[in-house]
Amino acid sequence: MEDPALVDYLESFVSKDRLKRFEEVLSLRTKYLTVVMEDVYHLHNASAVIRSADIFGIQEVHVIERRFGKRLDKKIALGAQKWTDIHRYKSTEECLRILKKRDYTLVATTPKKDALPIDRLNISGKIAFLFGAEKEGLSDAALNGADQFVHIPMVGFTKSLNVSVAAAIILQQMTTKLRTTDLTWQLPDGEKEAKRQDWIKKSIKDIDQIIDRYNTKI
């Protein structure tokens, strides 16, 4: 946590409307659900998933970049990467191991109809949704490490969805469902305040110089 006096000083550089918006957004932010992208090739898709995570209140996104390197296009994400916490991994195994230690149930998304329909998924524990590459889907490492499998029911001729569309559908359904429960899904107060301070800093141009100026006055 920052010095309260410094926080007050920095707030003076941010509009009251923006500060109020931070409070509103943080009240609906969650780490109870999270997203894992494994080797998503197209920049548009990777960035769109991050944008959907922000839109539906998901604070953390986990990106496995084993094959294609960094796939984040800032222009397409439209600034969403400023408001979400993006964790990067060089291997699927590393990512899944860390999430399991944090008590997440690993739920793999797949078009196979023998998987559980998404609306029947039990959300009584923390969930990490795994999304794979556009053509190949999730790797064997991801599928073998998953605890459960879900699919989005489809009744048309087309049998698959673009990964960013699938992520948006699942996140909208699951966050809506989550907020009707009595589960403790919101960020703890300490995390909310830390994130609010982070967002304040990201909203201020030349933040380093402004902090330096403050420090010379005290």
Question: What is the residue extent of each domain of the chain?
Answer: 1-29+188-218, 30-185
Provide the pLDDT confidence category of residue 84 given band limits of 50, 70 and 90: very high
Evaluate whether 201 touches 82 at the Cβ level (below 8 Å). Answer: no
Coil, helix or strand at residue 58: strand
Of residues 163 and 123, the one with the higher pLDDT is: 123
Residue 218 has pLDDT above 70, yes or no: no
Evaluate whether 162 touches 45 at the Cβ level (below 8 Å). Answer: yes
- How is domain 30-185 classified at the CATH fold level? Alpha/beta knot (3.40.1280)
Coil, helix or strand at residue 35: strand
Q: To the nearest whole number, what is the mean pLDDT of the chain?
A: 89
pLDDT, one tens digit per residue, over 129-184 is 999 876 678 999 999 999 999 999 988 888 778 888 999 999 999 999 999 999 99
pLDDT, residue 192, reads 97
pLDDT, one tens digit per residue, over 9-24 is 999 999 999 999 999 9
Report d(CA 183, CA 189) in Å as an integer.
16
Nearest alpha carbon to residue 150 among 179, 121, 190: 121
- How many other β-carbons are positioned within 10 Å of the β-carbon of residue 82? 13
Evaluate whether 82 touches 51 at the Cβ level (below 8 Å). Answer: no
pLDDT, residue 122, reads 96
pLDDT, residue 71, reads 52
Provide the pLDDT confidence category of residue 76 given band limits of 50, 70 and 90: very low
Of residues 64 and 68, the one with the higher pLDDT is: 64
- The torsion angles phi and psi of 133, rounded to 5 degrees, stand at -65, 155
pLDDT over 90 for what percent of the chain?
67
pLDDT, residue 80, reads 66
Lowest pLDDT segment from 40-44, 66-70, 86-90, 181-185: 66-70
Tell me how far apart the 2 most distant CA atoms of the chain are, in Å.
68
Of residues 60 and 216, the one with the higher pLDDT is: 60
Taking the model in full, what pTM does it have?
0.90
